[in-house]
Amino acid sequence: MNKNGYNVAVVGATGAVGVEILRVMERRKFPVANLKLLASARSVGKKLDFNGKDYAVEELNAAAFAGIDYAFFSAGATRSREFVDAAIKAGAVVVDNSSAFRMKEDVPLVVPEVNPQDLQNNKGVVANPNCCAAILAVAIWPLHKEFGIKRIVVSTYQSASGAGAQAMAELEDQVKSHVEKRKIEKKVFPHQIAFNLFSHNTKVAANGYNEEENKLIEEIRKMFHEPNLPIVPTCIRVPVLRAHSESVVIETEKPVDVEKARQVLAKSPGVKLVDNVEQNHFPMPLEATGDLDVLVGRIRKDLANDHSLALFVSGDQLLKGAAWNAVQIAEELIKAKA
């Protein structure tokens, strides 16, 4: 750090999450002294705006991290495995958005509203959770503290943004093709995404759950420090451009009280209560888009179980599910040094 702030690198700067990291740092007035944008060779020379100034994208290589204080990685697990060690050796603290380090025992997996204390144990790298895990964690952690969650059933409604900028473009292109009665092309997703929905496009493992569902199980357990917490996820792709939603049922140790749950959520950091029964107005991805908070509502008791609560959640996958959580982790690390 110098007197003007920190030297920051963004790896994968031209991708959907990389661009959002820049926008979030602007919104948060993150103390950036010098900024380095890194990406693959094909993006070199491309210019991106940050705080009114154009920065040219440089090629990602091991030497690029000299003098960097914080490095945000959003270029996929392969690139993270290849270059994170170089960044750490150069003295940077890495916040990694990929799946490369999330389940490594010595790497903290952090949502700051849930387990900021785990940041104390970092050895140069902190993992950012899967988008759905981050959004879910913010919504149910306050309820876990109040009622004690003993089982979670969650169905996700995951937008195209979760698969990156090309997937978002594919949804838009398919909608246009449908309207113009042209043949619908599939390049990013294995199935048509426009006017359709399908099981998350990751490989199904031997336990019957796909990769996304297994990530959700493992990551919530790790962040909550509940290694045996039963979780039953079903992850679905839906034709929404941006922001993920989740239908959640929790079973609890204590009897649940709907009004108490609302009160707890209303004052919880990172949560925005959207629970207007009279207007039938509950969380929606359109309203979650661009919001740093996670929208939580549709809160109601399980009519067959006094120890069970249902709710609906929407959160911006590119923000709380990725870029904002990453910047927030860096803010917490800076705060801890102060």
**Size (the chain), residues:** 338
What sections of 10-125 are H helices per DSSP? 16-28, 77-89
* Residue 287, token pair as written in the block: 């309203």
Tell me whether strands 149-158 and 244-252 are parallel, antiparallel or unpaired: antiparallel
Q: How far is CA 236 from the centre of its chain?
A: 16
Contact 173, 269 (CB under 8 A): no
Residues 6+ apart with CB under 8 A from 243: 159, 161, 285, 286, 288, 289, 314, 315, 316, 317
189: tokens are 């997703």
Q: Which residues contact 167 (CB under 8 A, 6 or more apart)?
A: 160, 161, 188, 189, 193
List, by residue number, the catalytic residues: 131, 244
What residues have CB less than 8 Å from 158, skipping those under 6 apart?
131, 132, 200, 212, 235, 236, 237, 238, 244, 317
